[in-house]
Amino acid sequence: MHFSLSILLYAYILLVAIFIIFAVIHILHLVYLTVTNHLSYFVTVIFLLGFIVIIGGSYTILSTIDWNQGMTESIPAPNSAQQLFQ
């Protein structure tokens, strides 16, 4: 079967979107109940920095990939061992 590599990218984007929604809901909970405490600020800033670094880092690496190619073109064929003896 032939799959486009971009399927992986779409799945990853969907996952990142879900995580961003979760993060926004968490932050809204905090904003609703508290805005002045240093601890919550500190943890939220660290969390957001980590989140941005992970997404930014993965974007930097993934942007070098050609997403139009098919997955089967790059994966070694399962029958390569048989070809060895031909």
Partner 1 sequence: MHIAKVIKQKQGEQVVMMLRRHPFVLIPAFGLFIAVNAFAFGAYYFINTYYSGVMKTDVGLAIVIILIASLLLSAWTQFYGQFIDYYLDIWVVTTKRIINVEQHGLFGRTIAETDLYKVQDVTSDIKGFFPTTFSYGFVHIQSAGETARFIFEQVPYPHLVRKKILQLVHADRKKHAQEAMISEV
Q: Is 17 in the site for partner 1 (CB under 8 A)?
A: no
3-state secondary structure of 4: strand
What distances in angstroms separate CA 16 from CA 32, 40, 43, 45, one per listed residue? Answer: 24, 23, 20, 18
Nearest to partner 1 of 68, 79 (CB atom): 68
With contact defined as beta carbons under 8 Å apart, do 72 and 2 qualify?
Answer: yes
Q: Is 10 in the site for partner 1 (CB under 8 A)?
A: no
Q: State which of residues 1, 2, 4, 19 lies at the interface with partner 1 (CB under 8 A).
A: 19
Contacts of 58 by beta carbon, 8 Å cutoff, 6+ apart: 12
- Binding residues for partner 1 (CB under 8 A): 5, 8-9, 11-12, 15-16, 19, 22-23, 25-26, 29-30, 32-37, 39-40, 43-44, 47, 50-51, 54-55, 57-58, 61-62, 65-67, 69, 71, 74-75
